[in-house]
Amino acid sequence: MKLHREGYTIIGVGMLILGLIQLGNYYLYQSTGWLWLFGLISLAVVVIAYLIVQFFRIPKREVNASDFDILCPADGKVVVVEEVEETEYFEDKRIQISIFMSPLNVHANYHPISGTVKYAKYHPGLFLVAWHPKSSTDNERTTFVTQHSSGQEVLFRQIAGALARRICYYIDKNDKAEIGGEFGFIKFGSRIDLFLPLDTKVDVKIGDVVKAKITKIGQLNS
């Protein structure tokens, strides 16, 4: 496991602040002798430090997928599997699969398929809770469409939430995408939406806990 580069500054600043808090906690204990308070604050410092570090962790995972597989782009829980009208790019019906990412999940995002990025657009917006029905269209978000070698296209969208205030992405139109390759990061919780062709074989259901680069979301029609 390694730490994501997006976390270096936050981890450094966070550890400095927590170190100062613990130093103050030590001097407070020296002056009061309140061991219970010293222990409580020390425990809180350790827990917060752990949460900050684990949020930016990048576990080592190997990609094992066939050419038509659609891999999960993020860790989290499947909260939507339904047929919807996609209005930004396709303007037709697609299968939407949404993955909610809690603050405890790994937050790096990965390409669900290989191909060529045909569309990339950033949208400023609101910061509604990630499970809100309008978060997919009203929140800060980025939308990408990758065209598979078969000609089929998959749309995937990073969506900011109430805690997530920064979406990071590293791809642009005409870039080559490799399944399981990193394309972005969302800081402090949110969700990823996928919009798949109607004839896609879907392998997940609502409530499933999924892992990026490992869980197969489905398979494009070959």
**DSSP assignment letter at 160:** E
Measured distance CA(133)–CA(163) in Å, rounded: 17
Q: Does residue 190 carry a catalytic annotation? A: yes
Burial 31-59 (b: 16+ CB within 10 A, else e): eeeeeeebeebeeebeeebeebeebbebe
Distance separating alpha carbons of residues 20 and 37, to the nearest angstrom: 16
Beta partners for residue 78, in sequence order = 99
Tokens of 136: 């997919």
Tell me how far apart the alpha carbons of residues 129 and 24 are, in angstroms, rounded to a whole number: 35
- Residues 5-30 as b/e (b if ≥16 CB within 10 A, e otherwise) read ebbeeebeebeeebeeebeebeeebe
Question: What DSSP line would sit under 206-221, residue for residue?
Answer: TT-EE-TTTSEEEE--
- Looking at 98, 135, 136, 190, which residue is catalytic? 190
Cβ 117 vs Cβ 172: under 8 Å: yes
CA 206 to chain centre: 17
Active site residues: 190
